[in-house]
Amino acid sequence: MPKNADHLSYQRASTISAFGLAMQLALSVAMLVYGVLGGDYAATYGSIPMFFGVPIWIALLLVFHQHKLERLEAIETEAFRASDASQASVFDEVGADQVVQASRLAWMHRLLLPVFSVVIGIVAVVLGLILLFRTGPVELAADLNSGWGIAIGVACAFLGFVFARFVAGMARQPIWSLLNGGAGIAMAGALIGLLLAIGHFLDMALDERGLLETLPTVFRIFLLVYGIEVLANTVLNFYKPRRAGEYLRPGFDSRILALAAAPDRITESISGAINYQFGFSVTDGWFFKLLKRFAVPALVVGVLLVWGMTCFVVIKPDETGLKITHGQIQTYERTLPDGTTVETADLDPGLVVKLPWPFSRVVTFSSTAVNEIVIGTRKSHGGDGGPLLWKNPNQPGEQFMLVQPSRSIASNSRFRDLSILSLEMSVQYVVDDLRSYYELAQDGPRRDREAIRRDVLTTMASAAATQYISTFAEDQVLGAERASIADGLRDVIQTVFDRHDTGVRVMFAGIAGVHPSSDVATPFEDVVAADQDRLRDIELAEAERIATLARAVGDIELADRVITELDELDQMSRSGADSEAIAEQEALIMAMIQEAGGEAATRLSQARSNRWSRHMGERARAIRREGELAAYRAAPAAFLADRLLAAWVTATQDARVFVVPESLDVRIDQTEINQSLDFRSSDDSEGASQ
């Protein structure tokens, strides 16, 4: 190929690389923006491998641009050498300087592309490991916009596949062989978009999110595998033999993605292997040619058959259906057993024929299923395993309803007052009229189509229940009248549902839980605790009474009789009864106490014993005094002498006594220990010496 033709070829490759860069960047950004704003982690993680195509296209653009510069340099060098100026010695050095672009191109293939491949491989491996083992499983948003997901996925798949096939076709030419790397990464984006579109289609058509929930992990594994392949290709390139002037495929040129971008190469390889095994050209036979001729029509017929199958829908025996064609609910006439004809939209169980999707569809709903809505505060039963106590702090979603005050408080109050209670009411219902129920509100999120209709029913039932409960007193709702209130609640809610033509029949409505605000829990428990303390004190007092009576009398029944007789004695004393009757009553009580034999009888016996002992002692003293008086009268002097001596004996019983004659002269020597000091008079001194 002439050098100027090579220059044009590399110019075309540069243009293709620039276009590939712009398309790769636009599709990657669109995928990322949709994934972040829509909460679609499958699209978010799918955009990461697509962004790896941006630096690859930049590298290809730089290399092809350098190839173009090298070809221009070669053309200029050849023209210079053919001119007369090259013969002059002054231009010898100029000719040597005209190989700069070729040297730079060789440097790019020898160093820049391998280093670039190693960097891409390391980043892909590290990022894949981090996303795979550090982020863990992800949860998709409940209300994904599958329409946008399908649109972006189909756009990426179509544009990526067409562009990858086009680039792979160009890469068959040796001069454009570097485009294989771009074709592979473009095919990767096409496969990512195809998987995303299929996942959202399954979510929209079959309400199946298994593929969408798996795609984030698949994309992370793909990123890790791609990085490992790039590093392996780079290492193997160092050991691959090459001819002079031949450039090796860079490491980021994935062989697996290249086969996906050019599947005809796989077919050619398989055909060659089959022909080799059989020894003749099987692919040139009539069967293979017939298969190739009718493969596309057969595929089209298969797609049409699958699309035609959407014309048939089977309604289960326990379901009721509605046929919606072009957005309108279809009605038909039904003959009742009495012969009358009515117009209805409900479809009976069985096979239903309709227009193919998306022109018509059948909505089904279970006609026997019992559904439930909760009014007021919804408790999370069994969430943390702990008990549900109304003294716990108010939950964020707790709702209060106004009720009348307690009847005892209202009757004693001059002011109009209200009370608040937290109620949890359960309403169970079935759908009788599917058309009325379906027209109640639009469909909800794809994961829960009935969410909005259920919210509308909850709002209606909540308004009716709030108005109904407000007519009752607090003690009625908290007390034994709760069951009768629940019966009336069902009728009130059914009336509201019928007024708005919801097509719903209420099966049950009841109060599942009710309690005042948690702020009054402590005072309420204080009252209960005070009642318990009162009962405890009564029981303790009763036990002490029984113990005291049993200890005092010995028999509880006899003690009660004694107490009765004591009360009668007290009444007799207050009423001024006869002393003999009082004495008889006292004697009766004494006899009963003695008969019981308890502590009181013991004390009475001891008191009687003490009384007799003291009585006999005082009597003995009286008799002794009479004897002493008789002795005194008989011999007064002797009696007094005897009493005096007895008194002296008693007084000196423990003392030292000296008996001396009355004429004994007692002198006291007052001489001090120190003889030199004598304070006595001379007469005293003489007397002492005598």
Confidence of residue 25 (pLDDT cuts 50, 70, 90): very high
CA 370 to chain centre: 27
pLDDT for 279 equals: 60
pLDDT for 26 equals: 92
Mean pLDDT across 207-219: 81
| Low-confidence winner among 144-148, 185-189, 493-497 (lowest mean pLDDT) | 144-148
pLDDT for 602 equals: 72
Confidence of residue 580 (pLDDT cuts 50, 70, 90): confident
CA atoms of 203 and 449, how far apart (whole Å): 13
CA atoms of 260 and 166, how far apart (whole Å): 13
Percent of the chain with pLDDT over 70: 76
The sign of the torsion formed by the CA atoms of 83, 85, 88, 91 equals: negative
What's the pLDDT tens digit per position in 381-434?
Answer: 444 445 555 555 555 556 777 777 776 655 555 556 777 777 778 888 888 888
Q: Which two tokens stand for residue 118?
A: 């190693």
Mean pLDDT across 126-137: 79
Confidence of residue 660 (pLDDT cuts 50, 70, 90): low
Compute the mean pLDDT over every residue in the chain, rounded to the nearest whole number: 77
What's the pLDDT tens digit per position in 353-362?
Answer: 888 877 888 8
Buried b (16+ CB within 10 A) or exposed e, 23-48: bbbebbebbbebbeebbbbbbbbbbb
Q: Is the pLDDT of residue 447 over 80?
A: no
What's the pLDDT tens digit per position in 49-77?
Answer: 999 889 988 988 888 888 888 878 777 77
Instruction: Tell me which of 654 and 280 has the higher pLDDT.
Output: 654
Give CA separation, 77 vs 81, 85, 145, 206, in Å: 6, 12, 60, 67
Instruction: Tell me which of 81 and 366 has the higher pLDDT.
Output: 366
Q: Any bridge partners for residue 357, and if so which?
A: none
Instruction: Tell me which of 122 and 202 has the higher pLDDT.
Output: 122
Q: Got the DSSP string for 64-103?
A: HHHHHHHHHHHHHHHHHHHSGGGGSGGGHHHHHGGGHHHH
| Low-confidence winner among 83-87, 295-299, 401-405, 594-598 (lowest mean pLDDT) | 83-87
CA atoms of 319 and 315, how far apart (whole Å): 6
Q: Is the pLDDT of residue 487 over 60?
A: yes
Mean pLDDT across 238-267: 70
Q: Got the DSSP string for 323-351?
A: EEETTEE--EEEE-TTS-EEEE-PBPSEE
Mean pLDDT across 101-106: 80
Pick the most confident of 74-78, 101-105, 493-497: 493-497
Confidence of residue 95 (pLDDT cuts 50, 70, 90): very low
| Low-confidence winner among 20-29, 325-334, 471-480, 607-616 (lowest mean pLDDT) | 471-480
Pick the most confident of 264-278, 300-314, 366-380: 300-314
Q: Is the pLDDT of residue 622 over 80?
A: yes
Q: For the chain, which residues make up each domain, given as ranges?
A: 3-86+98-266, 311-366, 371-516
| Angle in degrees, CA 113, 116, 121, rounded to 5 | 125
Supply the CATH classification number for the domain 371-516. Answer: 3.30.479.30
